[in-house]
């Protein structure tokens, strides 16, 4: 499978995959991945990739914390070697990475994370040792606080150095200054010395430790600082011993964990590899494929991962189900070879635990072997021509392929005499079918296309070509062969017209006939598919429109039911109010006649109450409505809609169609002419002719007057009518309205003012000014 993987460019994919890894070890390991050969093993790898994708891009987990390769550090420490500070820090980095990975995976209780949680269980970490190493090592050395002893020794060293410098400073500023080469204290052999001119070396008592290259300067350790330098060296020996003791102690801790650290590194490299797969899948917009052991390859809108995802045309391919081999034909540079490679590459990627850049529903088989013969395999070193090289590859394939193999052959029989090449290609395909293989073959041979029609378990397919635009469409169509369109491709590439015409003339009549037939069939199929797509789009558009109409019809039905219920409730309310009013009038009449003596004014009052009762009773009777005159009906007329039992306003009249569009409340309805009646005159119109009055409209009708006339009403009637008027004014967003109550005795005005004072929507009110009605009118300002 290695040769096939190389030809299908799997190494390039694995190199891209390695770029997403964190650890150096993983970057080296991923390009060496070998596809597994068992379905369950491949499914396990894909499940790991799925879980790491979930961790990274849904749950918000982090990737592996970087650490340097462990190498043989732990083994050396186990054998008693003392590790350097840098090596100890690297070992602590591994412990930290294991701890962070363990905590990160365990922190998510998502039941979909199973495999990673099991791997995390195998991670070992020692937070105490990790903390000790990072606390005790600073930079390239041990920190002062690595131990109390080290801290004390280093403090003594600093103090001793200060004492030595202070003593030597006296030489630099005292009488011996004239013997010195320059005013600097320096160090030779870990001992502090002063630079003395060579001619005065006997003038300064002490030990000579060094001489300059020119010989002009000698470096002398004065006798007075000899003891202090000796003590300083002793302190440094103590410091080194303490450092070695600390490093040895830390190294023993690492050595004791040799097996655990080695296991941790392996687990973390493995998990890092799956995190790399997850990120690669995210970058490629890839999906997890389904896997099968039946040899079925079904790719839905696949794209070769090495192509630009923004410009590549997705291709759907199916092989291994109802047929075992697919014979793909079509124009040169139309995408046959790329499609061939994509199919094999997707199977290899899935067997490496990689998602594939395709759509959901992609189903791939895990084959025991994948064989391929692609491209120009001419070998100068092996003295093989293109044809000979293809035959060598085909020989190997025919010898080793079996029922668990996937075979990909690009133009078998090419590079030799066309007649013999066609015969060879057909024979190779027959042999592969006899072995029970699955595979894909690309060809330009008509005999191979005919063979696909004649033989069971073989299917034709073609890469579509736009003859009008003379360009390939890079779409695979199953069930039909394709024309090579070689001359059209040559024309597009700029070959001169005279040569092309000669080429067409050199074609045999049979070849021209077959070419025309295939091309015509292909063009007809493409046109038919376009028409089908257009009809499908039109069908979808009408289905959406019908669904919208059904929704609107349902909405209208609900509004009508709601309106009818509201109308019935309003009717019950009016009857209740009128009944209560009639009872009040009767009680008042009875109270008058219960008096011992009746005055003329009592009789007038009783007669007035009786007349009022008569008016109330007459208004409670059903109004006999007259049919609206449809011939003279016009926009803006008020009408009564019988089926809705509601008044409305005419929006338009369609006399030729026998209906009118009416706005009834918030509903715009079409009303037949037989359902239109004249709107009944309002109570105020009856009493005051054509005077404008306020009409109570709970549903927000457009008819509204900013004036309410209460003259002639009782205090109770006036208060109820004024409240209804104010409600309507609020619904119509009126800012200021006018209530006419007359001057009279002032009782009606006082009643209205008392109501206005309590009304929640009244901001202020006042009596009318001169010209506004004065005390007979109240001007109300609404909130």
Contact 226, 234 (CB under 8 A): no
pLDDT at site 163: 85
**What's the distance, Cα to Cα, between the start and end of the chain in Å?**
85
Return d(Cα 44, Cα 32) in angstroms, integer. Answer: 19
What pLDDT digit, counting tens, does each position of 192-222 carry? 887 888 777 777 777 787 887 777 788 878 8
Q: What count of other Cβ atoms lies within 10 Å of the Cβ of residue 215?
A: 8
Say which residues have a Cβ less than 8 Å from residue 310's Cβ, sequence separation at least 6. Answer: none
What pLDDT digit, counting tens, does each position of 716-761 carry? 888 888 888 888 887 777 888 889 888 878 888 888 898 898 888 8
What pLDDT digit, counting tens, does each position of 73-91 carry? 999 999 999 999 999 999 9
Q: Give me the phi and psi of 393, to 5 degrees please.
A: -65, -45
Using alpha carbons, select from 419, 450, 452 the residue that is nearest to residue 433: 452
DSSP string, 594-627: TSSS--HHHHHHHHHHHHHHHHHHHHHSPP-PPB
Distances (CA, A) of 678 to 514, 650, 673: 79, 12, 12
- 170-184, 301-315, 343-357: least confidently modelled range: 170-184
Contact 194, 171 (CB under 8 A): yes
Q: Give me the phi and psi of 404, to 5 degrees please.
A: -105, 30
Give this prediction's pTM: 0.61
Using alpha carbons, select from 235, 243, 219, 238 the residue that is nearest to residue 160: 235
pLDDT at site 695: 37
What pLDDT digit, counting tens, does each position of 438-476 carry? 999 998 888 888 888 888 899 998 887 665 555 667 778
Contact 45, 349 (CB under 8 A): no
What pLDDT digit, counting tens, does each position of 567-594 carry? 777 777 777 777 777 777 778 777 877 7
DSSP 405: E
Q: What rounded mean pLDDT belongs to the chain?
A: 83
Bridge partner list, 460? 327
Q: Is the pLDDT of residue 620 over 80?
A: no
Percent of the chain with pLDDT over 90: 38
pLDDT at site 536: 85
Q: Is the pLDDT of residue 505 over 70?
A: no
Length of the chain: 783
Return d(Cα 7, Cα 635) in angstroms, integer. Answer: 80
pLDDT at site 289: 96
Say which residues have a Cβ less than 8 Å from residue 49's Cβ, sequence separation at least 6. Answer: 274, 277, 278, 281, 288, 353, 354, 355
Supply the angle between the helices 509-593 and 600-620 in degrees, to the nearest 10: 160
Return d(Cα 169, Cα 187) in angstroms, integer. Answer: 14
Return d(Cα 78, Cα 80) in angstroms, integer. Answer: 5
- 102-106, 504-508, 702-706: least confidently modelled range: 504-508
What pLDDT digit, counting tens, does each position of 490-500 carry? 666 666 666 75
Element (H, E) at 778: strand 777-782
- 174-178, 278-282, 614-618: least confidently modelled range: 614-618
Q: What count of other Cβ atoms lies within 10 Å of the Cβ of residue 148?
A: 9
Return d(Cα 96, Cα 526) in angstroms, integer. Answer: 62
Contact 640, 650 (CB under 8 A): no
Higher pLDDT among residues 468 and 658, named by residue: 658
Say which residues have a Cβ less than 8 Å from residue 430's Cβ, sequence separation at least 6. Answer: 455
| Torsional sign, CA 9, 11, 12, 16 | positive
pLDDT at site 403: 93
Strands (E) across 606-761 are located at: 638-641, 646-654, 659-664, 667-672, 676-678, 707-709, 736-740
pLDDT at site 524: 63
Distances (CA, A) of 667 to 231, 422, 488, 678: 107, 75, 63, 19
Classify burial at 32, counting beta carbons within 10 Å of its beta carbon; exposed 0-12, middle 13-18, buried 19 or more. exposed
Q: What count of other Cβ atoms lies within 10 Å of the Cβ of residue 400?
A: 11
Using alpha carbons, select from 345, 351, 359, 353 the residue that is nearest to residue 440: 345
Say which residues have a Cβ less than 8 Å from residue 452's Cβ, sequence separation at least 6. Answer: 325, 327, 458, 459, 460, 481
Across residues 136-146, what is the average pLDDT?
Answer: 91
Give the rounded distance of the alpha carbon of 601 from its chain centre. Answer: 87
Using alpha carbons, select from 273, 457, 254, 289 the residue that is nearest to residue 365: 289
Q: Is the pLDDT of residue 600 over 70?
A: no
Question: How big is the chain by its Cα radius of gyration, in Å?
Answer: 51
pLDDT at site 544: 87
Contact 211, 93 (CB under 8 A): no
- 219-228, 401-410, 449-458, 607-616: least confidently modelled range: 607-616
Give the rounded distance of the alpha carbon of 61 from its chain centre. Answer: 17
Higher pLDDT among residues 299 and 647, named by residue: 299
| Position 387 confidence tier, pLDDT thresholds 50, 70, 90 | confident
pLDDT at site 698: 39
| Position 281 confidence tier, pLDDT thresholds 50, 70, 90 | very high
Structure tokens at 158: 């600093």
Return d(Cα 4, Cα 528) in angstroms, integer. Answer: 39
């Amino acid at each position: 499978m290695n040769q096939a993987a190389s030809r299908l460019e799997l190494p390039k994919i694995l190199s891209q995959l390695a770029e997403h890894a964190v650890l150096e070890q993983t970057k080296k390991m991923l390009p060496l991945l070998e596809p597994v050969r068992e379905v369950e093993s491949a499914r396990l790898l894909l499940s790991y990739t799925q879980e790491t994708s979930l961790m990274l891009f849904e749950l918000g987990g982090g990737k592996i914390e970087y650490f340097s390769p462990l190498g043989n550090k732990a083994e050396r420490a186990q054998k008693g070697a003392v590790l350097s500070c840098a090596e100890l820090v690297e070992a602590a980095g591994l412990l930290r990475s294991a701890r962070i990975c363990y905590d990160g995976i365990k922190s998510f209780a998502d039941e979909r994370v199973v495999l990673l949680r099991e791997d995390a269980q195998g991670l070992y970490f020692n937070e105490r040792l990790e903390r000790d190493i990072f606390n005790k090592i600073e930079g390239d050395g041990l920190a002062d606080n690595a131990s109390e002893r080290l801290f004390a020794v280093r403090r003594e060293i600093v103090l001793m150095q200060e004492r030595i410098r202070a003593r030597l400073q006296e030489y630099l500023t005292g009488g011996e200054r004239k013997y010195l080469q320059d005013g600097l204290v320096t160090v030779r052999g870990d001992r502090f010395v002063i630079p003395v001119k060579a001619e005065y070396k006997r003038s300064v008592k002490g030990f000579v430790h060094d001489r300059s290259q020119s010989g002009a300067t000698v470096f002398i350790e004065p006798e007075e600082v000899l003891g202090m330098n000796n003590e300083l060296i002793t302190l440094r020996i103590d410091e080194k011993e303490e450092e070695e003791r600390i490093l040895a102690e830390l190294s023993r801790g690492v050595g004791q964990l040799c097996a655990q650290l080695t296991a941790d590194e392996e687990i973390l490299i493995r998990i890092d590899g799956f995190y790399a797969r997850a990120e690669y899948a995210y970058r490629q917009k890839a999906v997890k494929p389904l896997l099968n052991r039946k040899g079925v390859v079904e790719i839905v809108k696949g794209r070769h991962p090495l192509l630009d995802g923004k410009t590549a045309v997705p291709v759907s391919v199916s092989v291994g189900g109802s047929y075992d081999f697919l014979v793909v034909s079509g124009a040169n540079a139309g995408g046959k070879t790329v499609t061939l490679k994509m199919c094999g590459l997707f199977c290899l990627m899935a067997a490496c635990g990689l998602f594939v850049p395709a759509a959901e529903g992609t189903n791939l088989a895990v084959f025991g072997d994948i064989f391929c013969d692609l491209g120009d395999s001419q070998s100068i070193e092996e003295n093989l021509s293109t044809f000979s090289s293809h035959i060598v590859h085909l020989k190997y394939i025919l010898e080793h392929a079996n029922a668990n193999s996937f075979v990909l052959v690009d133009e078998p029989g090419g590079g030799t005499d066309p007649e013999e090449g066609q015969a060879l290609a057909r024979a190779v395909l027959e042999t592969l079918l006899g072995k029970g293989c699955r595979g894909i073959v690309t060809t330009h041979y008509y005999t191979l296309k005919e063979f696909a029609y004649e033989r069971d378990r073989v299917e034709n397919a073609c890469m579509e070509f736009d003859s009008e635009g003379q360009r390939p469409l890079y779409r695979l169509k199953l069930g039909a062969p394709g024309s090579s369109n070689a001359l059209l491709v040559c024309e597009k590439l700029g070959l001169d017209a005279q040569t092309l015409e000669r080429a067409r003339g050199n074609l045999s009549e049979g070849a021209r006939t077959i070419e025309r037939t295939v091309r015509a069939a292909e063009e007809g199929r493409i046109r038919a598919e376009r028409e089908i797509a257009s009809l499908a789009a039109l069908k979808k558009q009408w289905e959406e429109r019908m669904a919208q109409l059904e929704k609107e019809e349902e909405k209208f039905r609900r509004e009508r039911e709601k309106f009818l219920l509201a109308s019935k409730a309003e009717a019950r309310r009016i009857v209740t109010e009128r009944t209560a009013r009639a009872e009040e009038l009767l009680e008042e009449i009875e109270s008058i006649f219960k008096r011992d003596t009746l005055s003329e004014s009592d009789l007038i009052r009783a007669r007035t109450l009786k007349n009022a009762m008569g008016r109330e009773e007459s208004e409670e009777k059903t109004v006999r409505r007259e049919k609206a005159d449809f011939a003279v009906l016009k926009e803006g007329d008020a009408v009564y809609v019988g089926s809705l039992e509601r008044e409305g306003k005419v929006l338009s009249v369609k006399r030729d169609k026998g209906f009118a569009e009416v706005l009834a409340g918030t509903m715009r309805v079409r009303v037949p002419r037989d359902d239109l009646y004249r709107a009944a005159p309002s109570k105020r119109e009856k009493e005051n002719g054509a005077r404008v009055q306020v009409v109570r409209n709970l549903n927000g009708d457009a008819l509204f007057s900013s004036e309410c006339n209460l003259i002639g009403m009782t205090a109770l009637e006036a208060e109820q009518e004024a409240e209804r008027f104010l409600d309507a004014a609020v619904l119509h967003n009126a800012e200021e309205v006018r209530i006419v109550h007359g001057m009279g005795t002032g009782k009606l005005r006082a009643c209205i003012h008392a109501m206005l004072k309590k009304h929640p929507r009244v901001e202020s009110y006042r009596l009318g000014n001169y010209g506004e009605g004065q005390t007979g009118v109240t001007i109300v300002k609404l909130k």
